[in-house]
Amino acid sequence: MKQKISRLLLSCLLIVFTASGAWAIVYGQGGYENYGYNESTAWEINSASVLSKVRDDVNSGKLNYECYFKLTKDIDLTGSAYQKWSPIGGTQTSIYDNPLWTTHFQGHFDGNGHTIKINISEILTNRNKICNGLFGTILGGSVKNLNVSGNIEVYLRESEELYVGGIVAYLVAGKIENCKFDGTVTASTQTTTAYKTCSGGIVGYAGWSYHIFSIKNCKVGSQSDTTIKATVSRGKPYAGGIVGYLDDNNYEGDTSEVSGNYSRVYLEGGNSGGTYGGRGRGEGIVENNTEVDPKEEPEPEPDPLEITGTFKGATLNTSYSGSATVTGGTAPYKWTKSGVPTGMTCKASGATIKLSGKPT
């Protein structure tokens, strides 16, 4: 009797399993054979350690195919262990590398509305990582529904191009949709040649040759003031609210597309713009519907207002002179005089007021 009940429960369980779809599997915890091949079987990412495992397997070539991931929790990468975060999708070591030779992220990443907090601060002394961001390079893959907040500051002390993005550094081809970034993105190079330094709120550099890419409905600076900065000792710095630099040269009939909102975004760079900082061939569609704010430094608080000087007691029919000077506060100063004795004059000039004469 017990065996019949057990078999009946197992049959019901199998029916429920079949009807509801596959069980959720966290990446790295088994189920490799039957998971990750479509959205319904997407591997789940629920911690910083699992995200790092995905990154390591992508960059080693183990996941160099079209696989699916879904974020199920907010993730914090602001600890010191992640300060020199190696991006998902590897990185080029030189602009002369063919982008098709490097290990890209080719899968599909659904942020599921969750947020990844980052704090990347790195000084590079060689050309081993010219692409920096949460994702390094993407070829044919996609990222959607992902929020990223925090700071990404990368300084390259080498003659080479540098791409830094809030979501992805270099979008060779693929799609970025419904993503948000709030924080700071800084790309700075110390170069002796005229290379590009590209910094973007969503993507640092987009496009290569005739590859098609799409950046749609992304938002930058929607939750907090955001700064996108690109500096270079010699060369061309590009800073863009959505994309640092666009290289959208497409085949006839094919079109790359960029659209997004940017508010409370402050741009610093020789070539800067709300949607993109620079553009190569310029055949794709670029759309935006929010004005970008210029870089404005906050007004400093004025020093406390202080008045120094001495007005001593005066004697009738005796010459008198006294003065006072004001410091602090906010110039120009406005003086108001009242109750001046007969025979006396009161004159104000700038920060000083003088009282003189012979009271009668």
User: HEC profile for 171-209?
Assistant: EEEEEEECCEEEEEEEEEECCCCCEEEEEECCEEEECCC
How buried is residue 215: exposed, middle or buried, by Cβ count under 10 Å (0-12/13-18/19+)?
buried
- Determine the Cα–Cα distance for residues 26 and 112; give it in Å rounded to an integer: 15
Q: Which tokens hold the place of 157?
A: 């002390």
3-state secondary structure of 2: helix
Q: Determine which of 16-25, 126-135, 172-181, 337-346 has the lowest per-residue pLDDT on average.
A: 16-25
Position 119 pLDDT exceeds 90:
yes
Position 142 pLDDT exceeds 70:
yes
> What is the pTM (predicted TM-score) of this model?
0.71
Determine the pLDDT at residue 138: 92
Strand order in the sheet with 352-357: 306-310, 320-327, 352-357, 344-349
3-state secondary structure of 319: coil
Which residues sit opposite 329 in a β-bridge?
none
3-state secondary structure of 18: helix
Position 278 pLDDT exceeds 50:
yes
- Determine the Cα–Cα distance for residues 358 and 360; give it in Å rounded to an integer: 6
pLDDT in tens, 187-242: 888 766 667 888 999 999 988 766 788 888 888 887 778 888 888 776 788 888 88
pLDDT in tens, 30-56: 656 568 888 988 999 999 999 999 999
Closest CA relative to residue 262, chosen from 210, 221, 209, 201: 221
Q: Which tokens hold the place of 27?
A: 């990446």
**Mean pLDDT in residue range 66-72:** 94
CA 124 to chain centre: 19
- Determine the Cα–Cα distance for residues 30 and 170; give it in Å rounded to an integer: 31
- 120 φψ region: left (φ > 0), alpha (ψ -120 to 50), beta (else): beta
Position 286 pLDDT exceeds 50:
yes
Which 8-state DSSP code applies to residue 333?
Answer: P
CA 133 to chain centre: 9
Closest CA relative to residue 221, chosen from 304, 291, 125: 291
**Mean pLDDT in residue range 282-298:** 50
3-state secondary structure of 4: helix
